[in-house]
Structure formats: C-alpha cells, structure tokens
Structure 1
Amino acid sequence: MQKELSLVYFNDITELEEIKNKLNDERAVVCYVQVDNFTEIIGVCPEENRPELFAKIDKIITQWFQNMNGFVKKLDKDKYIALLQYKELKKAEDTKFDILEQVKKIKVGPAISVTLSIGASYVDKNMLECHKLAQSALELCLGRGGDQAVVKDLGKTYFYGGKTKEVEKYSRVRARVISQALKNLIEESDMVLALGHVFLDMDALGAGVGVFCAAKALGKRCHIILSQEQNPSIESLMKILVKDDILKSAFIKESEALEKITKKTLLVVVDTHRPSLCLSRKILDKSERVVVIDHHRRSEEFIDKAHLVYLEPYASSTSEMVTEILEYIDEVKITPTIPDKSAV
C-alpha cells in the first residue's frame, strides 16, 4: 500500500506586504479648504481688525496641515489647497477633522464663529482625477451647508462634521445675479419647461408657476409638467390656478412635453436637484439646457449637466427663491390672487 505524501511550500511575503502597505500609506491626498462664511465674518469685522482675523485663520489651517506632515498654500483670501499622505488623512478621519472645531474658536462679533468646508480625495489613477474629485467633494460640502469635511474616492463618499445650525446667509445680490442669468437663458430659448419632483407638492407647484410667470413676461412659451396621478395635497391650489385660462393651458403631461422638446428648450427643475427624484427622468435626459433651483441641502446625487444652479439650503422654500428672482426681472408684474372659500 502506497502512502500519499503532501508537500507544503511556505513563501515569506512579509517584505512584499510591507511595501504594499507603505505605498498605500504614502498615496497623495488632495484637499481643498474654504472659509465658507467668509462674506458674513467680513461683514461684521471692523476693517482695522481684519488683518488679525486673517492671520488667526491662516495660522490654524497652516499649523493643522503641518502637524499632519502636509503642505498647504493659500489660493485666495478664503481658499486653500493642501497635499498630505493617506496615512495622515486616516488620522484626520479618526479625529473627525478636529480642525473644524478648532477654527470655530475664532469669534467675530458677539455670535459668529469662523467655519470651514473641506473637500478631500485620494485615488489610484492620477492626480488630475484626484483634483476633480476633491473639487467635487468641496462643492458637495458647501451645498450641504458647510462646516464639514467630505472625503471622496472613486467608489464612496464620507462625511465629517456639519454640526453648525444653518442660518440664512444667501444675499439679495446673488438672487439678482441669478435672475439676470435666468432671464438671459429664457430669452435664448424657444420654450421653457418647469419640472418638479415626484409626489408634486405645494412648493414645487408654486415654484413652477413662478417660472411660468417669468417666461410669459419675457414672451416665451412655458409649460408646467404634471404627473398622471396628482398628489391630493395640491388639489386646492390647482383649483385656483386652473381658473386662469392661460395658466390652465400651461399644464401638460410627460408625453406631450417629450414631443415638444428641442435643442433650444430650457428645462427649469424646481424643488429638487436629484435626478432620481425628478417627476420625469425622460424629460431631464432629453433636455440639453437645464437650470436647477432648490432649497434642499445638496446630496451626493446631483444634476451635473445644469447650465445654472441656484441651491440655497438656507431658504425656507423654493417658491420663496423663485419669488425673489421674479422681483429682479422688470418685465414681471406680481399680482396677488385671493382664493374664495370654495377653492380651499
């Protein structure tokens, strides 16, 4: 009877694993840093105290990255770029980016603290891809209200901070700039479509009517997209709106809108910025010229092809934002409509 012999080989891969870990730890991380409430703190800081304020902010940011064995350079009065290694980023994540709390110790006036937004990324491909992801992370951070850090790689997104209570800080200056940009886009279009979100509510419907008023005042056709089955919560408002014959004819379904869309059609998405929540994904995909107006905090999912984005998480509603835009379009004349009891 023959005995079976087994031969086992052991290969020492310790050195190989150490090299792999070393290369992983030394991966480059790109960070973009922005003082997200810079306009507000400058507004309340006396001019003679501003150099001291800037120096304090610079010192905290510079020292924090130097403690992480990183490099930081100031790009603008409120913007910085930094490079560090992946192993140092992991330390920052372990502390939940404690720089966010450190910088808030700088007080301006009686109640305003300095806050930062940080967008970071690390990828295995190339530095250009890393730069793009870090920029995207910063935009996401700012869109969510700031005072936080967002870290992106090719597959996942991580959030840190974001404890500061959101306050109203969007200015009428920005509303005026947005209104002029929107006016130009409308005037360059052959038709305007207003698109809300699934389960259309009062805010989305009201914002859509505001877009209709702007387009009509500028001499452009406009339609508001309705779903096949209406949300019962908007029935009372619809009863009021359809009493206006011109406005009544503006409401159309998805199928009709898809037939009307051309390359010059302007789609204004209101009360959402997420493609998956749009009332019609087909209309969004077919439209080449898109505007987004929304008051929700920016999520990772976003309508990337928008020509113009007006995203203000500090506003109470999208209807409020649209109304403020209308105030800066001279051709629009806002007149109140008072419903009778039977329509409510």
Structure 2
Amino acid sequence: MKSFQRKWEGLEVTIITVIVLLLLLLAYLNWAIAVLALIIVVAAYLVNYNTLHNRRRLAREQFGAMMKNVTQASNFALQNLPMGIVLVNKQGTLVWNNSVFADWVTVDWNKLQKMSALLPGFRIDKIWGKSGYMTEKYDERYFQIIYKFIDPRDTRPDIHSEDELAEHAVMALYFKDITALEKARIKAEEDQPVWGMIQIDNLEELTKGLSDREYTSVWADINNIIMDEIDRYEGFIRNFQDDMYTFAISRGALHEMEENGFKVLERIRKLPSPRQVPATISVGISENVGSVKEVSSRARAALDIALGRGGDQVCIMDGESTRFFGGNTAGVEKNTRVRARVVSQALHELMLDSDKILVMGHKREDYDALGGIIGVVAIARTLGKELRIVLSKETSAIDKMVTVLKEDEFWTEHIITPDAAKAWVDANTLTIVCDTHRQEMVAAQEALEISERRIVIDH
C-alpha cells in the first residue's frame, strides 16, 4: 500500500511539473490565456485531489474494517471453535490455552501447570520437536491430540544457540474431543466374540464305581455351574461330550471374568463329591481375531496347554501372549499318555505359529538336557522350521554324544554358541528350554531374554 502511494505521489509531481512548464510557455505566448488556463488547471486539481482523497480514505477504512474482522475471526476461532488449543514449553509447562480447553480440562493458573499432571500419559520428551498425533483420556473424555513443533527461528533469525531455542520454542497441541467415537470403538471391540472350550478334568475319577443316578447327580451339579457361569455373561455354550463344552462370550465379558479371577474354578472345586475327590475343570480361550476355524483351533490348543499344566486352570491365548489363571490344586491326570499328548499337541501348535525356533538346555548339559533337546529338534524338523540348537561352553559331560551327533551334517550346521544365539534370536523367536526352569541356569541367558515367546520343559 505504501509503495503504491509513493509511486502515485511521484507521478503527481511529474504531471504538475509538465503542467507548469506548459503554462510558462503559454504565458510567454499569451499571458491572458495562460491565466485562464491556470485557473482551470487549479480548479481541476482541487476537484481531482478531493476525489482521490475521499477514495483513499474510504479504502483505508474498508481495509481497516477487513483487518479488524479478520482479527476478530482469528480470535474467535482460537477461543471458541470446538477444538482445544494449548502451547507447551520444553519443560512440559502450559504457556497458554484457549477457552475451549479450559472448559474441558481444569487449569489453575495460580499454580505452575504441567501437562503431565493434567494428562498422566503425556510425555513432552517423547514428542518434542516432532509433529504427529496421539489419543489420551482425561476423566471420562477421550481426546485426539495433534501436536506440532513451533520453531521460533522462522520469525526470529537472531536465535542461534540451543539454549535460546529451548527458551522460546513451544509445542502447539490441538485437542479434538473424540469421546463418542472412541467409546463406540471400545464397545465394538468389547462386543467381539471370543471362543473357548471347557473340559471336566476328572469326571471318570469322580464317578468311578457310582450308580447311574449318582453319576447323573455329580455330572448335573458340575454342568449347572458351568452353564450358569456362561449364562451370567450372556454367552453361548453347548455340551458336545459328557466332559467337554464349547462356548462363545464377548471380549468384554472375558475381561470381566479375568477381573473376578474366574470364580467358576473355585465353585467347581467346592462341590461335594461322593468319592471325596474335588472336581476340577480346565478352560482354553482364544482371544485372537480370525476365522471361526482359526479361533476354535487356538481355543483347543489353549485347553491342551491348561491340561498339560495339570488342569484346574484357565489358559487364554491372545496373539503371541498366553495368560493363565487358577491352578490351585495338584492337578489330575488321566494317565501319562494323556499328559504326553496334550503337551506335544500344544508344542506342535506353538511351533506351527513360529518362523524361528531356538532350543537349549541348562549350562553343563547332561544327557537329560541333551535328550530333551534332541526330541524337540526332531519335532521342529518334521515341521520344516528354521531352528538352531545352542550348547553352553561347558559340555564335557556330553562331548562323546555331541561328537556322534556332529557326524550328521544337520547337527554340525545348526549347533551354535551362546554368542551366536544372541545375534540370531529376535523377539518373535520361539525359545524352548529343556531340563531346567531357572533362567540363570540356561545355556544362553542373553538370547532367552531377547525372546518373548518361551516354552519350558522340565520334570
């Protein structure tokens, strides 16, 4: 605007100079006509000046009004649009917030306010200097927080040092209330069905030698508790053998069962028994998302793991993690072959879900440890899995057997040192430990700590 004004004023000077020169020339030729021309020029200039002055004044007023409206609109947007806005310094302290954020989150400006005190999950060191978004909960509200680093050097070229940058830089946080959307997502997640299987561990032992009436009474007592437990959580359950059930409940109901500690196990144990043997059940649950065939297969595998651990417990398989509840009794095993079957089947299922398998025993391996390793390796080889066997540096007790094994090219290629195991293993590697349950005793402790999926086979 000022540049345009300067250009226009320069043009005026030029025009006036030309007019004066022309008037002087005209006066030289005829002074009377020159006087008349001067009067006309002055009158025209005054009229034109007044018109231009009014137009400039009107333009300034309109531009000023427009800037005022833009400023008011910006202030209104900052303070009243449905988005909370916060500025935070490098220490995580609130520098400024708009009124919308103040309506959502209680801010006491009489005290030094830390964002971490308002939002416990907030960590300024995790986002400082970055841009992105995250979700946080405050009271009963869920917020999507879009964060952006405001670099003062964009407007302050005089800032050079890191200390000056830290003093003047801020993070802008934009809070969007997504409570309704997040609650709908959580509800949809909690409503997802999970599949499970239940087995009465010792029905044969409980009812051995009983009459048909007594058998029916014992079975009915157990059945009623199982049915009542699933009905209580609005689930679906069917009994397809005398001692076997399949059921489906919501994910939310499963979490509620976990919070209550699966009281059904205790209710079953407290049932009176004619043979003075406590009844127990085992439960396998798959919390995975997948086809009905996949989740039912995982539920069966979870049940087999629960049985293999002695029964009277719940095993929940969720992705790569497995959770257990119960297991308060000594456990009832029908016979050794059953235990061997369920353990081997569970081992088989876990191996199928793994790309890499690491097998080890304890330090100073003996023939028990080596025998367990050989058996596990045999199963893994039939599945065509990539595997390694790690032996400690102290194998004097089994050197002769190791020498015999290494006559086979497979064993020569796949036996590695603890250091090599540490480099080879990753978090998703299935690590199987034989003949010890103490972490400090394993052949490759550092490799074991890296792996998050572990199986311990010990007697």
* TM-score (norm: length of structure 1): 0.54
The answer (yes or no) to whether the contact 2:433–2:455 under 8 Å persists in 1 is no
Partners of 1:51 and 1:93 lie apart in 2 by 31
Residue equivalent to 1:270: none
Q: Tell me how far 1:229 sits from its aligned partner.
A: 5.0
Q: Tell me how far 1:53 sits from its aligned partner.
A: 1.1
Q: Secondary structure at the match of 2:207?
A: helix
User: Could you tell me which amino acid in structure 2 is paired with residue 133 of structure 1?
Assistant: R
Q: Tell me how far 1:18 sits from its aligned partner.
A: 2.8
User: Could you tell me which amino acid in structure 2 is paired with residue 26 of structure 1?
Assistant: D
Partners of 2:222 and 2:329 lie apart in 1 by 18
Partners of 1:203 and 1:197 lie apart in 2 by 9
Q: Does 1:90 align with 2:246?
A: no
Gaps of 5+ in 2: 1-66, 83-175, 342-358, 375-388, 413-429, 436-452
Residue equivalent to 2:335: 171
Select 2:283's aligned residue among 118, 125, 132: 118
Select 2:433's aligned residue among 272, 277, 301: 277
User: Could you tell me which amino acid in structure 2 is paired with residue 103 of structure 1?
Assistant: I
Partners of 1:113 and 1:173 lie apart in 2 by 22
The answer (yes or no) to whether the contact 1:100–1:148 under 8 Å persists in 2 is yes
Q: Secondary structure at the match of 1:145?
A: coil
User: Could you tell me which amino acid in structure 2 is paired with residue 197 of structure 1?
Assistant: G
Q: Tell me how far 1:31 sits from its aligned partner.
A: 1.3
Q: Tell me how far 1:28 sits from its aligned partner.
A: 0.3
The answer (yes or no) to whether the contact 2:360–2:432 under 8 Å persists in 1 is no
Q: Which has the larger radius of gyration?
A: 2
1:197-242 CA-partner distances (Å, limit 9, x unpaired) = 3433464478899xxxxxxxxxxxxxxx99675567xx5xx8xxx9
Select 2:266's aligned residue among 93, 98, 101: 101
Partners of 2:320 and 2:179 lie apart in 1 by 29
Q: Secondary structure at the match of 1:91?
A: helix
The answer (yes or no) to whether the contact 2:194–2:249 under 8 Å persists in 1 is yes
1:1-344 matches, within 5 Å, as: 5=74, 7-8=77-78, 9-10=81-82, 12-43=177-208, 45-166=210-331, 169-171=333-335, 197-199=361-363, 200-201=365-366, 203-204=368-369, 229-230=393-394, 252=403, 254-259=405-410, 275-277=431-433, 301=454
User: Could you tell me which amino acid in structure 1 is paired with residue 192 of structure 2?
Assistant: R
User: Could you tell me which amino acid in structure 2 is paired with residue 276 of structure 1?
Assistant: I
Partners of 2:183 and 2:233 lie apart in 1 by 22
Gaps of 5+ in 1: 178-194, 210-224, 243-247, 262-273, 280-299, 304-310, 318-344
User: Could you tell me which amino acid in structure 1 is paired with residue 232 of structure 2?
Assistant: N
The number of equivalent residue pairs is 231
Q: Tell me how far 1:39 sits from its aligned partner.
A: 3.0
1:277-310 CA-partner distances (Å, limit 9, x unpaired) = 259xxxxxxxxxxxxxxxxxxxx7459xxxxxxx
Q: Secondary structure at the match of 1:112?
A: coil
The answer (yes or no) to whether the contact 2:195–2:296 under 8 Å persists in 1 is yes
* TM-score (norm: length of structure 2): 0.42
Partners of 1:57 and 1:257 lie apart in 2 by 54
Which structure: greater helix fraction? 2
Partners of 1:97 and 1:175 lie apart in 2 by 24
Q: Secondary structure at the match of 2:234?
A: coil
The answer (yes or no) to whether the contact 2:312–2:326 under 8 Å persists in 1 is yes
The answer (yes or no) to whether the contact 1:121–1:151 under 8 Å persists in 2 is yes
Q: Tell me how far 1:150 sits from its aligned partner.
A: 1.3
Partners of 1:196 and 1:44 lie apart in 2 by 46
Q: CA RMSD in A?
A: 4.1
User: Could you tell me which amino acid in structure 2 is paired with residue 73 of structure 1?
Assistant: R
Larger displacement relative to structure 2 (152-161 or 57-66): 152-161
Partners of 2:454 and 2:285 lie apart in 1 by 18
Judged with a 3 Å threshold, the aligned counterparts in structure 2 of structure 1 residues 174 and 18 are, in CA distance, closer, same or farther, namely: closer
User: Could you tell me which amino acid in structure 1 is paired with residue 335 of structure 2?
Assistant: S
Judged with a 3 Å threshold, the aligned counterparts in structure 2 of structure 1 residues 155 and 205 are, in CA distance, closer, same or farther, namely: closer
Q: Tell me how far 1:78 sits from its aligned partner.
A: 0.6
User: Could you tell me which amino acid in structure 1 is paired with residue 194 of structure 2?
Assistant: V
The answer (yes or no) to whether the contact 1:27–1:122 under 8 Å persists in 2 is no
The answer (yes or no) to whether the contact 1:227–1:253 under 8 Å persists in 2 is no
1:250-302 CA-partner distances (Å, limit 9, x unpaired) = 663553234589xxxxxxxxxxxx853259xxxxxxxxxxxxxxxxxxxx745
Judged with a 3 Å threshold, the aligned counterparts in structure 2 of structure 1 residues 170 and 207 are, in CA distance, closer, same or farther, namely: farther
Q: Tell me how far 1:89 sits from its aligned partner.
A: 1.1
Partners of 1:50 and 1:150 lie apart in 2 by 28
Judged with a 3 Å threshold, the aligned counterparts in structure 2 of structure 1 residues 206 and 84 are, in CA distance, closer, same or farther, namely: closer
Judged with a 3 Å threshold, the aligned counterparts in structure 2 of structure 1 residues 13 and 252 are, in CA distance, closer, same or farther, namely: same
Q: Percent identity?
A: 25
